[in-house]
Structure 1
Amino acid sequence: MFGSVNRQRRFEALAREFSDDLFRFAVWLCGDRALADDLVQETFIRAWKALDSLKDEQAAKPWLITILRREYARTFERKVPPLVDIDAVIGLEQAGEGPEDRLERMRFRERIMQLEAKYREPLLMQVILGMAINEIAAVLDLTDSAVMTRVFRAREQLKQTMSKD
């Protein structure tokens, strides 16, 4: 009995701590809030089933991100999600923000989404989720130096494309 109560508490703590980050990352991945919500729910269902395999609580975030990425990949096995306008999805309107600011933010999002996935994903994991290089490397099954290179190249590509505007 105590094992199931402790397991439940452990899972609830993980869900509380990481659900917002998972949702934010899922929105960036798929561009659809409803699909992102489904992905997070499926991630937590799979996490619940595999909770006993998580031995190190410090590895929880990369473990959950890996599950979410796999769930997202599975959506393409079933169907192709519809594409939506990223501005309609993110909704980060700032109070007092002018039209130029909104336009600049829109251009920036478009440029991020135009990056190849191998550059976009590690950049978003670092910027949106605040993950460390070693955590990103574990999720993407890369070396730390490969992740640093991809993040650097993503930033350089963004600088180049943004300076052309």
Structure 2
Amino acid sequence: MPRESEGFRLAVKAYSADLYRYAYWLCSNSHQAEDIVQDALIRAWKKWHSIEDVNATKSWLFTIVRREFLRSISKNERNKIENWSDAALNAIPDTTLKHEDETALRKMLLSVPVGMREPLILQVLGGFSSEEISKILKINTGAVQTRLTRARQWLKNLIESDMKEEAQHESR
């Protein structure tokens, strides 16, 4: 048991900040995100002994957080997930970007359609591979890769469009 508790403690220390950011991205509420992570960690502790692949601990914990979030909302709210607010993007780690650049980045990410946005956020926030994202979202790896490619293409087109507008505005 001491080894198990030490392993769990190390996992919590290593991943709790990422788990919180992901939970916050899902629910857009700091108190609810804390509750979700706490409930997820309680569930994880209860099943800690069943982990077969310690290399999959991070994705396993993210999956539990996602399930806790889904448990925490009503069926009606689950149907409205596509209407997540801009506050969900506050979970993106602070950077050295100027405020207006950070705001623009958040708006760009929010413009990505939801089906493509969640895999992108898992890759950006969690650093997950396509295979890990497919396990978390319970979709096949090919679908994850397609959604990631489409999300990147969406952002690329948006940036190119903004650059064209800016160039036209400057030429006037």
Q: Does 1:117 align with 2:114?
A: yes
1:37-62 superposed Cα distances (whole Å, 9 cap, x missing partner): 22111110110111122111011111
Is this contact kept in 2: 1:26–1:68, CA < 8 A?
yes
The verdict on how the C-alpha distance between 1:19 and 1:72 changes in structure 2, with shifts beyond 3 A counting, is same
Identity %: 33
What pairs with 1:24-63 in structure 2 (closer than 5 Å)? Answer: 24-63=21-60
* CA distance in 1: counterparts of 2:150 and 2:68, whole angstroms: 27
The verdict on how the C-alpha distance between 1:16 and 1:88 changes in structure 2, with shifts beyond 3 A counting, is closer
Report how many aligned residue pairs link the two structures: 157
Q: Does 1:154 align with 2:151?
A: yes
With the length of structure 1 as denominator, give the TM-score of the two structures. 0.80
* CA distance in 1: counterparts of 2:12 and 2:91, whole angstroms: 23
Is this contact kept in 1: 2:86–2:110, CA < 8 A?
no
The verdict on how the C-alpha distance between 1:49 and 1:111 changes in structure 2, with shifts beyond 3 A counting, is same
* CA distance in 1: counterparts of 2:89 and 2:66, whole angstroms: 22
For 1:23, the equivalent position in structure 2 comes to 20
For 1:127, the equivalent position in structure 2 comes to 124
With the length of structure 2 as denominator, give the TM-score of the two structures. 0.77
For 2:167, the equivalent position in structure 1 comes to none
Q: Does 1:108 align with 2:82?
A: no
The verdict on how the C-alpha distance between 1:66 and 1:76 changes in structure 2, with shifts beyond 3 A counting, is same
- In structure 1, list runs of 5 or more residues that go unmatched: none
For 1:92, the equivalent position in structure 2 comes to 94
Instruction: Return structure 1 stretches of 4+ with deviation > 6 angstroms.
Output: none
Shift, 1:128, TM fit: 1.2
Is this contact kept in 2: 1:26–1:39, CA < 8 A?
yes
Shift, 1:147, TM fit: 1.0
* CA distance in 2: counterparts of 1:87 and 1:148, whole angstroms: 22
